[in-house]
């Protein structure tokens, strides 16, 4: 099929023709290597940095100030007296078969030896029976008013102390 030239339907511009001269040079092939440096070279300008313009010295000073502030905050956090709320497990006691409290009385008679301890957590008074298997740490009986932690067994309706730690 032969191609036909189509008549241009574009209108002529009403704009005034430019007065700028066109180049008289002939178009030449571009050289890609061994270009001669031209007399006029356009230099590229550096873009100005946006945001804060800080020198190295200022950056170091700011970093030192931030480090001191963070150190102070950590120091203050460590120096505060930490109080925490203990979660209630084991009916409010320290462990499954353990009570931490104050000794209220001691019965060291010939038949049944017993220690009564008032719990710090629940406020209940427990009676622990002490036998030859009970281990005291340090190796002595507690005196009334002392803080103790008692580990015990529940045997036939009695709380039998296995370990008594004096605090």
Delineate the domains of the chain, giving CATH numbers in brackets. 90-166 (2.40.50.140)
pLDDT tens, position by position, 148-161: 999 999 999 999 99
Task: Summarize pLDDT for 56-99 with one digit per residue, the tens.
Answer: 899 999 999 999 999 999 998 888 876 666 566 676 778 889 99
Residue with the bigger pLDDT between 90 and 133: it is 133
Q: Which residue has the tokens 């002939």?
A: 26
Q: What is the mean pLDDT of residues 137-147?
A: 93
pTM above 0.75, yes or no: no
């Amino acid at each position: 099929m032969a191609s036909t030239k189509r008549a241009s339907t574009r209108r002529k511009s009403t704009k005034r023709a430019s007065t700028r001269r066109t180049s008289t040079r002939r178009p030449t092939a571009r050289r890609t290597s061994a270009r001669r440096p031209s007399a006029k070279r356009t230099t590229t300008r550096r873009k100005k940095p946006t945001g804060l313009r800080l020198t190295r010295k200022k950056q170091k000073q700011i970093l030192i100030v931030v480090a001191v502030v963070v150190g102070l905050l950590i120091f203050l956090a460590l120096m505060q007296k930490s109080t925490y709320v203990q979660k209630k497990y084991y009916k409010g006691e320290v462990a499954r078969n353990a009570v931490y409290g104050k000794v209220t009385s001691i019965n060291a008679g010939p038949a049944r030896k017993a220690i009564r301890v008032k719990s710090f957590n629940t406020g209940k008074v427990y009676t622990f029976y002490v036998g030859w298997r009970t281990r005291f740490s340090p190796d002595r009986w507690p005196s009334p008013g002392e803080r103790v932690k008692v580990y015990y067994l529940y045997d036939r309706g009695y709380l039998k102390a296995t370990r008594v730690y004096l605090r």
